[in-house]
Chains A and B, each alone.
Chain A
Amino acid sequence: MKTFVCIKYVPDTSEAEVKVNPDGVTVDSSRFSFDINDADNYAVEESVIIKEARGGDITVVSIGPKQSDVMIRMAMAKGCDRAIRVEDDRIAGHDPLMVAKVLAGAIKGQECDLVLTGCMAGDDGHMATGVALAEELGFNHAAMVKKVEVLDGKVKAYRELEGGLMEVVEVALPAVLTIQTGINEPRYAPIRGIREAQKKELKVVNLEDLGLNPEDVGPEASGLVLENLYVPEIESAAEFIEGEPDEKAEKLASILVKGGLL
Chain B
Amino acid sequence: MISEIDSFTEKYDLLGCIQCGRCTGGCPVTVRADLNVRRFVYDAYNEEKLEELARLAEIWDCTTCNTCAVRCPKGLKPLEVLLALRSMVVESGKVEPTVRDALQSVLLEGNPWEKPRATRCDWMEGLDVKMAEPGVPVENLFFVCCTIAYDPRLQVIARNMVRILNKLDLDYGFIGTDETCCGSEVRTLGEEGLFEMLIEDNTELLNSFEAKRIVTFSPHCFSVFNTYHPDLKSEVAHYTQLFEELAGENKIPWGGELQKKVVYHDPCYLGKLSGVYDEPRRVLQKIPGVELLEFDRCRERSLCCEGGGGKMWVESNSKKERLAETRIKDARALGADIVAVSCPFCLLTLEDALKGLGLEEEMRVAEIMELLGEVVEE
Contact = CB atoms under 8 A, between A and B. Distances in A.
A touches B (Cβ under 8 A) = yes
Interface in A12-37: 12, 15-16, 30-35
A188 B95 contact: yes
A16 B193 CA distance: 30
Contacts of B192: 192
B121 to A, nearest CB: 11
Interface string B66-105: 0000000000000000000000001111110101100111
Interface string A38-61: 000000000000000000000000
A190 B194 contact: yes
A195 interface: yes
A185 B105 CA distance: 17
Interface in A139-192: 185-192
Contacts of B105: 33
Contact of B107 (A12, A15, A186, A191): A191
B117 A190 contact: no
Contact of A188 (B100, B114, B116, B117): B100
A187 B93 contact: yes
Contact of A30 (B93, B109, B118, B193): B118
Contacts, number: 63
B57 interface: no
A70 interface: yes
B116 A31 contact: yes
B20 interface: no
Given A31-B118, A190-B91, 16 more contacts: A15-B115, A16-B116, A16-B119, A31-B119, A32-B116, A34-B108, A186-B97, A186-B100, A188-B93, A188-B103, A191-B107, A191-B194, A192-B91, A192-B192, A193-B91, A195-B193
A187 B104 CA distance: 11
A33 B93 contact: no
Interface of B: 90-95, 97, 99-100, 103-105, 107-109, 114-119, 191-194, 196-197
B104 A188 contact: yes
Nearest to B196: A191
A135 B132 CA distance: 56
- 8 smallest A-B Cβ distances: which pairs? A187-B93, A191-B193, A33-B116, A188-B100, A192-B193, A31-B118, A191-B194, A188-B93
A190 B108 contact: no
Contacts of A32: 116, 118
Nearest to B198: A191
A37 B105 CA distance: 14
A233 B144 CA distance: 36
Nearest to B93: A187
Interface in A194-244: 194-195
A68 to B, nearest CB: 11
Nearest to A79: B93
Nearest to A32: B116
B90 A188 contact: yes
B90 A190 contact: yes
Contact of A189 (B93, B114, B117): B93
A78 interface: yes
A192 B91 CA distance: 8
A187 B116 CA distance: 22
A31 B109 CA distance: 11
> Chain A interface residue count: which class?
20 to 34
A188 B117 CA distance: 21
Interface in A101-119: none
B194 to A, nearest CB: 4
Contacts of B119: 16, 31
B141 to A, nearest CB: 25
Nearest to B101: A188
Contact of A78 (B93, B97, B114, B117): B93
Nearest to A187: B93
Interface in A66-83: 70, 74, 78
Interface string A2-20: 0000000000100110000
21 contacts: A12-B116, A30-B118, A33-B105, A33-B109, A34-B108, A74-B104, A187-B100, A188-B90, A188-B94, A188-B95, A189-B104, A190-B91, A190-B93, A190-B194, A191-B107, A191-B191, A191-B196, A192-B192, A192-B193, A194-B107, A195-B193
Nearest to A185: B97
A203 B198 CA distance: 28
Nearest to B192: A192
A30 B192 CA distance: 31
Max chain B Cβ within 10 angstroms of own Cβ: one of A12, A32, A33: A33
Contacts of B104: 35, 74, 188-189
A12 B109 CA distance: 12
Contacts of A187: 92-95, 100
Contacts of B107: 70, 191, 194
Nearest to B100: A188
Contacts of B99: 188
A32 B115 CA distance: 8
A27 to B, nearest CB: 14
Contact of B108 (A30, A31, A35): A35
A42 to B, nearest CB: 12
B100 A33 contact: no
Contacts of A189: 93, 104
Contacts of A78: 93
Contacts of B109: 33
Nearest to A192: B193
Contacts of B197: 191
Contacts of A195: 193
Nearest to A30: B118
A15 B193 CA distance: 29
A97 B104 CA distance: 32
B108 A33 contact: yes
Nearest to A78: B93
